Structure 1
Amino acid sequence: MEVAFSTADVHPRDRFDYWQAATRERIADHDSSISSRDGFNAELSVGRVGSLGLVRSRNSEIQVASTNRHAARSDPSEVLLFCLLAGRILLEQSDRRVSLDAGSLACVDPRLAHTMHFLDQSSTLIIKVPQTELEARLGKNFDIAACRIAPLGPQERLTLFFAAKLEQLSGTLDRTSEETISTQAIDLIALSLGNAVDRPTQLPASKSRLVWHIHRAIDARLQNTDLTPERIAERVGISVRQANRLLGTQGSSLMRLVQTKRLARCRHALEDPRQIHRSVSDIALGWGFSDLTHFSRSFKRAYGILPSDLRKLKESR
């Protein structure tokens, strides 16, 4: 994580204004207010692990309000997860109010107005999760606004522990490892969110868990060329028809999901400087593709470039 802004470098009279400008740029558009500018201090660090954007915020007591006007200018492709490491936060969104203590996490939908009150000297890790990643696991109609994960059970405690440690991994791993870690983090978060929500969703918690198990069954055998819908469904304990029906609500299917995951792994390998010694065919075969012509066509359809051309582009830089 790299320090992007610190009030220690700013004159006391300008600290709050500079801080608000920095958080608008790095997190989301909003209005902030504080009871007194005297003694206000804050620091912002940024980083990334795979598909997850990370912002670490340490700040004095502050109130944040995102109105409908702000929400209209937000990035609709991201969901914000506030993992509280120290202090306390009061969050209100969609007529729901939750209180976060250290060691808990809450979702904020940046497309909806909300208010947050950071009490005391707080330390928060904001995790930016691609909207499509959560939708792939929980469905498009899953209501994440002010959804809270508390350390009530072993699974939730694992999720929160994993989430809080992400900042320590930023900048320490190769790209392929980062993508693997970020996928596992999103899996855990999605599973805990599915367990935490007791209101109707597109996929009930039981179905959300089945989708999660489908993803895990595929990931564990992605390198096998004989990975078939029947083998995946058998591993999960459901029929192929049921599995495809579950994935169909998310615009996917068993084999489409397998191909998407394989293509993503191949792209990461082709862009990884540590794997420059591997040929394109070796990478494709290593991730379960048996037909190299089909692989090249599918890769170009997905990413707009042939795998061989992507490799040449990376080698020329």
Structure 2
Amino acid sequence: MSTATAPPILDFSPFYGVDSEAKAKLVEEVRKCCHYNGFFQITGHKVPLGLQRRVMECSKRFFTLPLEEKMQIDKNINTFNRGYELLRSQMLEVGTGPELKEGLYIGEEIPEDHPYFLQKKLNSGPNQWPPTVADKEEFQKTTMEYYHAVFDLAKDVLSVVALTLGVDSSYFDPLTAGAVATMRMLHYPAQPKDEDEKLNRGIGAHTDFGCVTLLLQDEVDGLQVLDAPSGQWLDVKPTSGAYVVNLGDLFMRMANDKYKSNTHRVINKSGRERYSIPFFFSGNPDYLCECLPNCRAEGEAAKYAPITVQDMVTSAYKESYGRAEKYKKQLEQKQSALTPAVAVAAVGA
């Protein structure tokens, strides 16, 4: 991978088959991607195309609701990231504005008597479902069917990644058992062609927080991955039925930086609305993340101290959302400082 190329599209079906040579080829392709920039796309998985299309249609139905109806399930009324997120709530890249996207956070249904809820585990609680969305029972059923299908696919991806490390495919079972994952339906409004892309990113340049992300795109592009060796931003063109897969910071930490959690962003220059559904697989909140096998040379020390999934991902959330709040407060202070001067000028006139 000496030249700058967009993340390759890999046929994942050999993982489910009996052809050992094809499976070994898949494992080697994934290994190369993990070493290079941690990004690849997969087809040939077990999530049906029809289910993908149905959940994307659900997402579009939700985001067409009036703002006051979406705000009935504002995620700020709970502490576990479930519900609707307003435009410009998050800021992942320093020097940009808060991001031009709105979202709906969804996860496994965790009732209020569940140990994860009682112990305030990562993103653990009951979902907030939109009460006014059309055909709300179908909306909920389709969304959770899709969530569970991608959850299973994330475990399959980690099984292949385990094989790239020279360990058994079941190596990550303790990480995936009782795992927490968060799905986000995202909507990027259309932007004017001359909009300042530095200040109006769909999502600013960032790396993901957890172990692995699986992204479903609609037909509108905008996702870009940084090719670190060349410094180029590479477009990741939407491919029907495919998932964009990337490793997150938590996995790179466990891999002693040998496997990459790479920088990416979204800039919606299409002039159209864009929809996507990322699935962030964090892992069991209590899993202790330590240096993985075959990720350091003999005598080489681990770069990072052990840390739980809970502590690693929670701190990353606080940083990105805190950055957006700080930006908004500074903007309000600037506007407040200007207001008296404007008033005096008006009186003098």
TM-score between the two structures when normalised by the length of structure 1: 0.28
Larger strand share, 1 or 2:
1
Q: Which has the higher contact order (CA 8 A, sep 6+)?
A: 2
The structure in which a higher percent of residues are helix is 1
Scaled by the length of structure 2, the TM-score of the pair is: 0.26
